Amino acid sequence: MSVLVWIEQNQNGVVPNSFEVLGKAREIAAALGTQTVAAVLGDNASAAESVRPYGPDVVLAITGPVLANYRLSAYTAALRKAVEAVGATVVLTAATVHGREVAAMLASQLDAGYAPDAIDLRVENGRLVAVRSVYSNNILADVTFNSPVQVVSVRPRSFPMPEPGAPGGEVRTLDPGLSENDVKEKVLEVKSTDTGEISLTDASIIVSGGRGVAQDPAKGFALVAELASVLGAAVGASRAAVDAGYIPYKHQVGQTGKTVKPDLYIAAGISGAIQHLAGMGGSKVIVAINKDPEAPIFEKANYGIVGDLFQVLPALTAEFKKRLGK
């Protein structure tokens, strides 16, 4: 038995959400009386050392040229091998774009139960329970499994980032036994789209704009970005703002955009439609700026500012600059 965590990597190294999952995995493994295994996949094992300070019992380095770039069929096959090699009964990934799909495909191949996008995990009577948020945290569903292997993807920022300690755990290598012929997809070119912006899913503060900027969208989103910059925050948006072409889709928060869980979410000119709340309702503190005192977002907000965002945002930026000494 073991709890296996896929340690996802991108062009910047290990995706930090994987460490959040690994931290929780250690708790779950302790409650189940078993080991934590961190699976690092790639064309070399260089990331294995960066995982050891996060305390898994074993780092399983699964390496081979076919794993150089993320490909769904190759990564699923390699993780399947890892599950068999360490007798994993629980498999955890971060619920990133890749983490969700690889977990789903792995679960289907193993005939295992799958709880996607869980926000909490616990062990009850020796069994894993995954908690899923439904309707923007209005319902929390406990999911249990009746399959021998249980697969869960965990929503980013559901658990704190563990503190690294002294490197522990042994590094073991595993040959995935895959050749190019076993892999269904080909990667022709890898282009970095990293613009140095803070990613929405990792951000602890997000400032978002909505259709409320309509009278001057360029200025409105410049004000949103200015406040975000002073706070070290990521910029988000409602779908109405994205659909209107005010800002690219990658900023969209909500049911058909990104699910975020920052410590602070500032929503400017966003009405609070259920589909938007589905993406940010789990934020710790919500501040809403809206000129309509009846806007539904105020029902969800911890703090509400009734006013015109074109006046409120610059005032907030100026005040934060003063207080933060910027």
Interface residues with ligand FAD (CB under 6 A)? 210-212, 238-241, 252-257, 269-271, 273, 275-276, 279, 289-292, 295, 308-310
Q: Which is nearer to ligand FAD, 180 or 294 (CB)?
A: 294
Q: Which is nearer to ligand FAD, 176 or 282 (CB)?
A: 282
CB of 253 to ligand FAD, least distance (A): 6
Q: Which is nearer to ligand FAD, 113 or 269 (CB)?
A: 269
Which among 167, 169, 171 has a CA at the least distance from the CA of 53? Answer: 167
CB of 202 to ligand FAD, least distance (A): 19
Q: Return the H-helix or E-strand segment holding 14.
A: strand 13-14
Exposed, middle or buried by CB within 10 Å (0-12, 13-18, 19+), for 45?
middle
How many Å apart are CA 96 and CA 91, to the nearest integer?
15
Q: Which is nearer to ligand FAD, 171 or 273 (CB)?
A: 273
Q: Return the H-helix or E-strand segment holding 4.
A: strand 2-7
For residue 237 the two structure tokens come to: 């948006």
CB atoms within 10 A of CB 204: 15
CB of 267 to ligand FAD, least distance (A): 8
CB of 323 to ligand FAD, least distance (A): 23
Q: Which is nearer to ligand FAD, 43 or 319 (CB)?
A: 319
CB atoms within 10 A of CB 187: 11
CB of 254 to ligand FAD, least distance (A): 2
Q: How, if at all, do strands 139-143 and 127-134 pair?
A: antiparallel
How many Å apart are CA 282 and CA 158, to the nearest integer?
9
For residue 77 the two structure tokens come to: 């096959």
Q: Which is nearer to ligand FAD, 153 or 238 (CB)?
A: 238
CB of 118 to ligand FAD, least distance (A): 20
